[in-house]
Amino acid sequence: MEKLPLIGLGIATVGSSGQTLDVHFPFIVFKNGNGEHDHAYGGWDALMDQDTISLQDPSMIELKEDSFNSIITNLSDNKKLVLCRIVEDRKIRTIEEAYLKLHLLSYKFFKPNSLNLDNLFNVLPNVAWTNRGPVELEDINALIINAKAKNKNLEIKSVDKFPRLTDYIIPPSVRIADTSRVRLGAYLSEGTTVMHEGFVNFNSGTMGAAMIEGRISAGVIVGKDSDLGGGCSTMGTLSGGNEIKISIGENCLLGANSGLGIPLGDNCIIEAGLYVTGGSKVKKFNAKNESEGTVKAADLSGKDNLLFIRNSLTGAIEARINLKSVTLNKSLHDNQ
C-alpha cells in the first residue's frame, strides 16, 4: 500500500469534558509526494515519532500554503489543530485515526474494504450532531431546556457515532438529494446521483457514474453505470446474519424494492420486488431459454449477464440470460 505513510492535518472539536468529538481533515499529505498538498510536507518529519499530535503552537508546522494559515489562525475555543499520521494500516486506536480513515475513503484515496477499520465502533463516541456542532450527550438535556425557554434554535439532526459525509467532504460531480442519507466514509465517484431514498454507509460506494435510489450497506461496492432502484436492499455484514461481502458489477440494474444477497457480475438485472438471497434455490436457464436445472443463488455469484426474476405464474425464482443492456439516463448524471 504505497500511499502510506501519510499525514492528515485536521481541525478537531473538543467537547466540554475535553473529549475529542470529531475531526475534519481538509488536507492530506502523502510522503510519496504525489498528492496535491505534498509540497507542504517538508518540516513535518520531526513530528513523525508520534501518531497524533495536538498542536498548541502552529509554528511547529512548516507552512507552505496560505490556505493552511487561514485555518490555523483564530480557531474557535472548542477547536484544536491535529496532526494524525498513518504509517501502517493497523486497527484503529484513536478517534483521530478513525476520522482520518473515513476521510481517506471519502476523498477516494482508498477504496472500500482496502483499509483496516477494526475497532471503529469502539473508538467512535456516540454524540449529538447539532446545528452548533457535535455535542456530548451528557450536555444535551440542559441545552434542550435552555433552547426551549429562550426560543433559541437547537436542531439535533442525529445521535450517532458517524456524521454525515457532507459535513466534511463534497465529492465532485455528485448529487446527493438528502445529505442525511450518506455517512462519512462513503466512496462516491463522479456522475453518481444518490436520490432521496438512496443510502450509502461508510466503507462502501460507487466505482463510477451510478444511480442510487436504494441502500448500499457497509462494505458493498457498486460498479460503474449501474442503477440501484428505489428502496432496493444490499445485504450488509454488520447485522442480520449475512457473512458474504456483496458487490455489484457494471451495467447492473437492481429493480425497485428488490434485494441482493450475493455478489453480482456485470450486466445483471434483478427484477423489481425480488429478493435474491444466497440460499435461494434458483431455476437456471441458458441463452436458448432451455432449463439447466436448479442451483443455489450463491453458486451464481459474480457471473455476468444474468436476469433474476420470480416467475409470476409458478412463483419460482429463475436466472435467465440477460439480453438487455442497462443504460443510465445521461441527463441524470451530468452533475455539473
Burial of 282 (0-12, 13-18, 19+ CB in 10 A): buried
Q: By three-state DSSP, how is residue 234 classified? A: strand
Q: Hey, what's the cell of 276? A: 435474491
The answer to whether 195 and 211 are in contact (CB under 8 A) is yes
**Residue appearing with cell numbers 517538508:** 42
Question: Which residues, listed in sequence order, are joined to residue 105 by a DSSP beta bridge?
Answer: none
Q: Kindly state the smallest distance separating residue 3's Cβ from a copy of itself, in Å.
A: 21
Q: Kindly state the smallest distance separating residue 14's Cβ from a copy of itself, in Å.
A: 10
Q: Kindly state the smallest distance separating residue 77's Cβ from a copy of itself, in Å.
A: 8
Alpha-carbon distance 127 to 276, whole Å?
36
Q: Hey, what's the cell of 31? A: 510522503
Q: Kindly state the smallest distance separating residue 272's Cβ from a copy of itself, in Å.
A: 5
- Residue number with CB closer to a copy of itself (46 or 314): 314
Distances (CA, A) of 298 to 141, 226, 271: 49, 21, 17
> What string of H, E and C letters represents the secondary structure of 76-121?
CCCEEEEEEEECCCCCCCCHHHHHHHHHHHHCCCCCCCCCCCCCHH
Q: Kindly state the smallest distance separating residue 303's Cβ from a copy of itself, in Å.
A: 18
Question: Which residues, listed in sequence order, are joined to residue 313 by a DSSP beta bridge?
Answer: none
Q: Read off the amino acid at residue 253.
A: L
Beta strand pairing call for 281-285 and 317-321: parallel
Which of 96, 97, 197, 213 is catalytic? The answer is 213
- Residue number with CB closer to a copy of itself (32 or 67): 67
Q: Is 213 an active-site residue?
A: yes
- Residue number with CB closer to a copy of itself (50 or 131): 131
Alpha-carbon distance 157 to 179, whole Å?
11
- Residue number with CB closer to a copy of itself (178 or 292): 178
- Residue number with CB closer to a copy of itself (31 or 96): 96
Q: Kindly state the smallest distance separating residue 104's Cβ from a copy of itself, in Å.
A: 17
Q: By three-state DSSP, how is residue 139 classified? A: helix
The answer to whether 242 and 260 are in contact (CB under 8 A) is no
- Residue number with CB closer to a copy of itself (31 or 61): 61
Active site (catalytic) residues: 213
